[in-house]
Amino acid sequence: MKKGFFVILFLIMAVALTACGPSESKFYFASQTPTDTSSWVYWVVIEKKGDKVVGAEWNAFNIEGDANNTYKGMDKVAASKAGIYNMNSELWWHEQADLVIEKFIDSKGDVNDQLQAPAGVSITTSEFYALAEKALASEPVEKGDYKDGYHFQTLKANAKEHAAVQYWDPIKEEVVSTGTWDSYTFGSFVVVNGRIVLAYFNNVFYGYKAVVNAAGFVTKIDHDENPETPKISLMADYTSATPKLLKTKNQLGTSYGMTGASPIKKEYDAQAYAAAAYLVEKQSFPETNTDGDFEGVAGVTITATDFFDLWKLVPAK
């Protein structure tokens, strides 16, 4: 009788343990907020099983996308592994990042245990720990339908040549030209647990920081007092030896000068960020209308066909 009782008890416990099974992974995400002066924008993914941190990812994307001829849309880990992002140190960036992650996991996800840095680590680790703390304080990422990882998408194949833009340099008192360039839109996307958790849209547009008037337009001046020549953009003052030629609309910010022409008085970068925020929240875009515009996407009145086309390129599972 006792033997039968213990057999039944054993079977009940076995069924209970099988039902519970191993802890399911949960993923937590945080990223930096890109600005017009950003270069690399970092993000962190933390994997937990139960209360235990079992994995982490630390990476970054470059806001110039494939307008940057060095990285061409690659994420920082991939660029480091390919020998392109070279810090001229004994360990590559991705190798140092792996050491930081290993220490983080060994410390059971202690965001305050960042000193001393592991041997061989010379990179700044504050971005990782700040984002790790932010990620762990957030809700776990819900499951989605996209393929995990970093996805860079570009419409460069459909690029259109843009005429050179001329500026008046008030410091050197001479005309400066951007030269011609190919204009197109690109996007960076991060997918965690099947869900788009980061989206970033930008457009290739060469230019210099310019003076913007109160109406939101780039100030144009008659630099040569010749009524037969067109007015040109007034370049903003610069502090280095030479002005920096910027490659994208998001880097130009208000100096792109679209605010004055926008019906909602928002610059290109603000509208690109609004579209990205919508995609992260809704996980999809509505179809664009016959004019190429979104309907019902707050903060976006510019032609949105490119945003829609880039989103459709993000791979599903």
> E strands of the chain, at which residues?
25-31, 40-49, 52-62, 149-154, 160-162, 166-169, 174-177, 181-183, 185-192, 195-207, 220-221, 232-234, 246-248
State residue 4's pLDDT score: 52
Mean pLDDT, to the nearest integer, of 252-274? 94
| Neighbouring residues of 196: CB distance < 8 A, sequence distance ≥ 6 | 144, 146, 189, 190, 279, 280, 283, 314
Angle at the Cα of 181 from the Cα atoms of 82 and 310, rounded to 5 degrees: 60
State residue 22's pLDDT score: 65
Question: Residue 107 above 70 pLDDT?
Answer: yes
Question: Residue 284 above 50 pLDDT?
Answer: yes
Q: How far is residue 275's CA from residue 305's CA, in Å, rounded to a whole number?
A: 11
State residue 191's pLDDT score: 99
Confidence of residue 171 (pLDDT cuts 50, 70, 90): very high
| Pairing status of strand 232-234 against strand 166-169 | parallel
Mean pLDDT, to the nearest integer, of 106-114? 96
pLDDT 10s digits, 218-258: 999 999 989 999 999 999 999 999 999 999 999 999 999 99
Mean predicted lDDT score pLDDT of the chain: 92
pLDDT 10s digits, 143-165: 999 999 999 999 999 999 999 99
The answer to whether 27 touches 192, Cβ cutoff 8 Å, is yes
State residue 11's pLDDT score: 47
Q: How far is residue 256's CA from residue 169's CA, in Å, rounded to a whole number?
A: 16
Look-up of token digits 């001829």: 69
What one-character DSSP code corresponds to residue 292? Answer: S
Mean pLDDT, to the nearest integer, of 177-184? 97
Q: Under the phi-then-psi rule, with left for phi > 0, alpha for psi from -120 to 50, and beta for the rest, what region is 45?
A: beta
Cis peptide bond prior to 153, omega within 30° of 0 = no
| Neighbouring residues of 94: CB distance < 8 A, sequence distance ≥ 6 | 76, 77, 80, 81
The answer to whether 58 touches 76, Cβ cutoff 8 Å, is no
Q: Structure tokens of 33? A: 């907020």
Residue 54 in 3-state DSSP? strand
State residue 302's pLDDT score: 81
Q: How far is residue 151's CA from residue 218's CA, in Å, rounded to a whole number?
A: 34
**How many C-beta atoms surround the C-beta of residue 10 within 10 A?**
10
Confidence of residue 20 (pLDDT cuts 50, 70, 90): low
pLDDT 10s digits, 49-90: 999 999 999 999 999 999 999 999 999 999 999 999 999 999
Count of residues for the chain? 317
**Which of 9-13, 284-288, 309-313 has the weakest average pLDDT?**
9-13
Q: Provide the percentage of residues in the chain whose pLDDT is more than 70.
A: 93
Confidence of residue 9 (pLDDT cuts 50, 70, 90): very low
Smallest CA-to-CA distance from 203 within 179, 180, 186, 182 is with 186
